Amino acid sequence: MAKFDREIKKLAKEFQVPETYHKKVNEILDTIQEDCVAPPRKKLSVKAAIVMAALCLAVTVFFLFSGSEEAEASFLDTFKQTILDFFGMGEEESQKIGIESKKEDAASKWDLMIELQEVVMDTQNIYTVVKITAPPGVEFKKGMTFDYFGFCEGTNYNPSALVSGARDCTLLEVMKGKKNIATYVVNIATDQQVREGKEVTVFFQDLLEGPYQDNPEVLVEGMWSLSFTASYTNLKEITVKGTDDMQYPFADGMAQIKKIKLLPLGLTILSDVSGIDEDTRNTTDTRCIIRFKMADGSEILADSPNLKDNCLVNGGSIGWYEKKGRQYQKYVGQFRKAIDISQVRGIYIAGCYVPVKG
């Protein structure tokens, strides 16, 4: 084996590589290097760059402005009902009755976009129209409302400054073609008068489906609020001061009417109930039949203890007060639609007739 290795080494020393071999190898290496070099990057001319930038800017501006205009137009074109429609009247009739709507533009953020559209307000009623935009997966329909809502004084939600009274939140309209956008009417009938110029906040918590079921579904969780300045849009009201002979049956005794305030959207009756003991007042249904006598001779059933009756009043509150040793009941009723109070000639309260001068 050692002899074989020595012979191989001897042949290797004597073997001569032709010069043409080295030349051919060098040509191949040069060709490989040329193929591996990346081609130079073409430079974009300054003129072309300016044109491209201007084109991008124009496209961006077009989509921004056309999108906002389309959103605004879609709301104006799609939502047909306003707060006046909720009251069951048109623009001309509202001017006759004396109800005006104050336009608002406040908006909240987060998972729900809530925008304040209109406010109608008098000394005992607050009505607001809000536009609500929910996430695309939510579809507004009848029966959907908020778990907690209402009004308070101030610019933010403040549980210590709540406006007390009967509250309601009603679906007004769902946008055509966009079921995740709708308008709601949020209102309250209160015996706690909110003075003009005060800041008021309307608030909402947790959007629900099936609120009156055992296990309502929470669609959107959160707390939202919008603020506005109190301004009476309805200034028409009729006040009647009671007399000693204006009495009506109350529990097991008689109540004396002290004052009646009639508004296009509601009614307030203040009565002296000092003749009835507290236990009886607290355990007796003190509701009674209230009717309006109209100028044309017809009558309107305003309120009734019978829930099956179709009454003008669809919500309200009853408060109890003590002043200078006397006990008073304050009844506040909110109407389901506005009325022309100039056509009311009298009010029957549990059979007691009270004349009204329009």
pLDDT, greater one: 251 or 58: 251
What domains does the chain contain, in order, with CATH numbers?
A: 83-229 (2.60.40.1630), 238-355 (2.60.40)
The confidence score (pLDDT) of residue 354 equals 96
- What distance in Å separates the CA atoms of residue 184 and residue 89, rounded to the nearest whole number? 17
pLDDT computed for residue 63 by the predictor: 45
Contacts of 312 (CB under 8 A, 6+ apart): 292, 300, 301, 302, 303, 335, 336, 337, 339
Q: Residue 223 pLDDT more than 70?
A: yes
Rounded to the nearest 5 percent, the helix, strand and coil shares of the chain are 25, 40, 35
CB atoms within 10 A of CB 111: 13
CB-based contact 140:230 (threshold 8 Å): no
Residue 109 to residue 140: CA distance in whole angstroms = 18
Average pLDDT of span 82-108 = 68
pLDDT band at 69 (very low <50, low <70, confident <90, very high): very low
What confidence score (pLDDT) does residue 279 get?
86
If you average pLDDT over residues 1-17, what whole number do you get? 53
| pLDDT confidence bin for 338, thresholds 50/70/90 | very high
- Pairwise pLDDT comparison (70 vs 57), residue with the higher score: 57
Say which amino acid occupies 358.
G
∠ Cα 89 92 93 (to 5°) = 45
Higher pLDDT, 81 or 219: 219
Residue 80's nearest CA partner among 143, 150, 149, 173 is 173
pLDDT given at position 75: 40
In a 3-state reduction of DSSP, which class is residue 230? coil
Reported confidence tier of residue 282, pLDDT bands at 50, 70, 90: confident
* Residue 64: count of CB within 10 angstroms of its CB: 10
| DSSP secondary structure letters along 198-213 | -EEEEEEEEEEESTTS
Please state whether beta strands 181-189 and 166-174 pair in parallel, antiparallel, or not at all (unpaired): antiparallel
- For the ranges 28-32, 98-102, 139-143, 212-216, the maximum mean pLDDT occurs at 139-143
State the pTM of this model.
0.66
> How would residue 4 be classed by pLDDT, with cut points 50, 70 and 90?
low
pLDDT range class, residue 62, cuts 50, 70, 90? very low
Question: Rounded to whole angstroms, what are the CA distances from 156 to 169, 186, 188?
Answer: 19, 17, 18
pLDDT digits (tens, 9 = 90+) for 165-187: 989 999 999 999 999 999 999 99
The pLDDT tens digits of the residues spanning 108-139 come to 545 899 999 999 999 999 999 999 999 988 99
- pLDDT, residue 52, reads 61
Check pLDDT > 50 for residue 68: no
Measured between alpha carbons, how far is 306 from 316 in angstroms, rounded to an integer? 15
Lowest-pLDDT choice from 14-18, 40-44, 212-216, 322-326: 40-44
Residues 6+ apart with CB under 8 A from 270: 242, 257, 258, 259, 260, 328, 329, 330, 331
Mean pLDDT of 336-357: 94
- pLDDT of 358 above 80: no
What is the C-alpha to C-alpha distance for residues 59 and 53, in angstroms, rounded to an integer? 10
Helix (H, G, I), strand (E, B) or coil at 109: coil
Q: Is 327 helix (H, G, I), strand (E, B) or coil?
A: strand
Per-residue pLDDT, 283: 83
Within a 13 Å sphere around the CA of 180, how many CA atoms are in the beta-carbon half?
11
Q: Would you place residue 287 in the very low, low, confident or very high pLDDT band (cuts 50, 70, 90)? A: confident
CA distances to 60, 61, 81 from 57, in Å: 5, 6, 39
- What phi, psi does 343 have (nearest 5°)? -95, 0
